[in-house]
Chains A and B, each alone.
Chain A
Amino acid sequence: MSATESTDILVIGSGFGGAIAAYHLAAGGARVVVLERGPWLRADEFDHDFELGKSYTRIFDFVVGDGMSILGGNCVGGGSVVYFATMPRAPRFVFERQGSIGRRMWPAAINRDTLDPWYDRVAEALPITQQTWDRIPYAGGLWGAACRHAGRTANPAPAAIDVDLCTNCNWMMAGCRFDAKRSLLLNYLPAALDHGAEIRPLHEVQHLSRTPDGGYRVHYRVVDGEDYRILHESGEIDAKIVVVAAGSGATPVILQRSEPHLGKMPHAVGRYFSGNGERLNTAIFDEEKVRDVLGLSRSDGRAYSAYQIGRGPTVASWDKLDGSLPEYERFSLEQLYFPPGLGTILAQVPGATGPSWFGLEKKEMLRQWQSWLTIFTMSEDDNEGVFGPPPETGNAHRLSQQMLGVGPLRYEPTKNTWRGWSLSDAEVKDILERDGLARVAPWTNDLVGAYTVHPLASCRIGDDPATSALDDRHELRDHPGIFVTDGSAVPGALTVNPALTIAALAERAMPGIVAAARVRGVPVSYNGTLPAPATVPAVPAPAG
């Protein structure tokens, strides 16, 4: 094994929380090393292929828990590479939420007004653009038309997508091979590399320990490039500051595993996990009704039959994002595409007389797959997720060579969470079953629990040490020099897609992390620049 290396700043993870930290700290003059457990792929490696071992399984993870399963990124660029790039700001009332703790769960320093300037920065850097109806895919148009028919509003949602480059292939979850999706591979990460940051893919951090000089030693294993169940050599890197941004499903696990080495972790590490109140309903449309009731038809004469076409969610209904409604009754409803292979089995047959998720009636439902529309609820859950003891390595016991594993998260939805889900189910049904447009049923929670693509809050910021792991500067309580900047820092469900809020919070945390690094003797400054939008992606370093 090689001698222990050292750097100024060690960043764990290369999604929004890690990439933004890597850029600002490197641009400010610090030596930065990023350890990313997943592979580093170029655009031409993002396959349109369901075969096991293609990018579809290489770059994201599906971790089954007890009552909640998490879908997350597993590659350089993290969630930004696999997500659907829908980037609304969180509504104002979200920051006033109390959740289960009987007091405002966000730090006093943060509300929509104070976060807006940081939202602006991310919107400029990626960039995020507003979408227009003339380029909204059929599925989004159908959802909008159904909302209008039911007296609701619906908006094209802002997105980090260059629509001119987009082919509406709906393969975003396997990575965008057209570089239309403005992932971190096109902005923060190449800019961080330009400033000397080093990114090491397939390096999975297992735990942290202390160094005699008050810094931290980061212990990693190298992950096999094809079979992630196999771990190769181990290594260590010493750093003065550690930024943990491994994602909400992994950050608390790394910190829990570090407890024997670092000392007691704050109570909130691995607690208060939120699935962003997420729930899915699948509708099967009657094509004739789409034509007759909504007046929709495609140029080839079909009414809809276009579930496969598009770029994930493009149109959202925000009528229930009403701050005057009680907590747990507010949610957004977003049209969504869910690809075959992962979620199809969870879609239930509306009005099934036999089994709802398999069997004869399910097969009949599958025959109509192109007439499906998935509606995605993002509501207010109760932060009821708790991580059990960490697995031996990583954040899950890996079942398959890639993607599928079983993790330690336990999530038992409370009545509050079920209230939001039930209200949203009823709302979706009311909108879509009018005049026989569609038949609707929610996904089952009986197979893999609830299902989130936006895990949050497992190591959250706050003012109350009893219910937050981080202070409002994102520093881990009682462990100075460790900062957490990923989705786990977000205090609770946001009722909308969270990536922009995660990124804005990371931007906001940077001046404080730079200041902490300076105190520890790192020659770094915060200069407030943003990466110039790049058209050429970050290129993977040569192997070896």
Chain B
Amino acid sequence: MEVPDKTITIEAFADTIIPGEKRWPDDRAIAGAATGAGAVAAGALALLELPAGGLAEALDSLAVTLNEHADDYAHETGLSLDASVPSFVALSFDHRTALVRILTDPGHPEKQMWVSLALFCNMAFDSAAHMSTPTAFATGHPGLLTIGYSQPNADGIYRFPEFSYGRQLADHHPQTTATGSPA
């Protein structure tokens, strides 16, 4: 299967933000650094490609720029890269991580761009923002399941009838006013 450079590059970036396990043995985008699903399996690409998010039109140029940064990084660190995949994908997980740290450093001129990309990768994992939350649960969204987010009631609404330890657990500040505010 031919995977566009854009897709495999952005997937490799997403996998650096929230790492996961390989989808198939020779999966190149996912480094396989962690067990369980990561940002890619959680739908990072699907979220990033939604026009509503604002990054969809920029993904091609982000992938090109990211691979250029990977080339520079490889050159500076003396790495030789596998030319059969995009340069960022050719980096090991540790090197991908090191490069993302450089690109998102407060002093980097492109920081905002890479932070935005990371933000959406994270959102795909921890909130499944590209699909309705009931659908996310119905389809076993791995991010919501990993963080342990509770399922809604059958009507799609959250209610927690059990919510309190039910007893006083702290002493009140002595300067509290009659209305319950600080003096």
Contacts and interface: CB of A to CB of B under 8 A. Distances in A.
17 contacts: A50-B128, A88-B182, A133-B169, A148-B171, A169-B160, A300-B162, A317-B170, A318-B173, A318-B176, A332-B182, A340-B123, A341-B123, A359-B16, A363-B146, A367-B146, A399-B55, A401-B53
Contacts of B158: 48, 167, 169-171
B110 interface: no
Nearest to A94: B182
A296 B169 CA distance: 10
Contacts of A496: 182
Interface in B1-54: 16-19, 33-34, 38, 47, 50-54
B106 interface: yes
B90 interface: no
Interface of B: 16-19, 33-34, 38, 47, 50-55, 97, 100-101, 104-106, 112, 115-116, 118-119, 122-123, 125-134, 136, 144, 146-150, 152, 156-177, 179-183
Interface of A: 48-54, 64, 88-92, 119, 123, 128, 130-131, 133-138, 141-142, 144-145, 147-148, 152-158, 167-171, 177, 227, 296, 298-300, 305-306, 308-310, 315, 317-319, 321, 332, 339-341, 344-345, 354-355, 358-360, 362-363, 366-367, 369-370, 398-402, 404, 406, 446-448, 496
Contacts of B177: 89
Given A308-B149, A354-B97, A370-B148, A360 B122 contact: no
Given A138-B165, A318-B173, A354-B97, A158 B159 contact: no
A359 B94 CA distance: 10
When A and B form their complex, which 3 residue pairs have the shortest distance between CB atoms, in order from nearest?
A144-B170, A341-B127, A154-B170
A167 B159 contact: yes
B101 A355 contact: yes
Contacts of A366: 18, 125-126, 146-147
For the residues of A in contact with B, the DSSP-based class is loop
B129 A341 contact: yes
A137 B183 contact: no
B148 A310 contact: no
Contact of A89 (B148, B156, B174, B181): B181
B52 A359 contact: no
Given A130-B179, A358-B118, A362-B18, A52 B53 contact: yes
B133 A49 contact: yes
A88 B180 contact: yes
Contacts of A363: 18-19, 34, 38, 146
Nearest to A445: B106
A145 B122 contact: no
B127 A358 contact: no
A91 B179 CA distance: 13
A66 to B, nearest CB: 9
A448 B118 CA distance: 12
* Most chain A Cβ neighbours within 10 Å, of B34, B50, B122, B123: B122
A308 B162 contact: no
A411 to B, nearest CB: 13
A345 B104 CA distance: 13
Nearest to A308: B150
A49 B134 contact: yes
A91 B126 CA distance: 37
Nearest to B135: A51
Contact of A400 (B33, B53, B159, B169): B53
A135 B54 contact: no
Nearest to A171: B158
B123 to A, nearest CB: 5
Contact of A64 (B51, B112, B160, B168): B112
A50 B133 contact: yes
B179 A153 contact: no
A52 B97 contact: no
A358 B157 contact: no
Contacts of B51: 401
Contact of A147 (B19, B104, B163, B170): B170
A169 B157 contact: yes
A240 B18 CA distance: 55
Contact of A134 (B19, B112, B167): B167
A133 B167 CA distance: 5
A370 to B, nearest CB: 4
Contacts of A398: 54
Given A171-B158, A355-B100, A369 B149 contact: yes
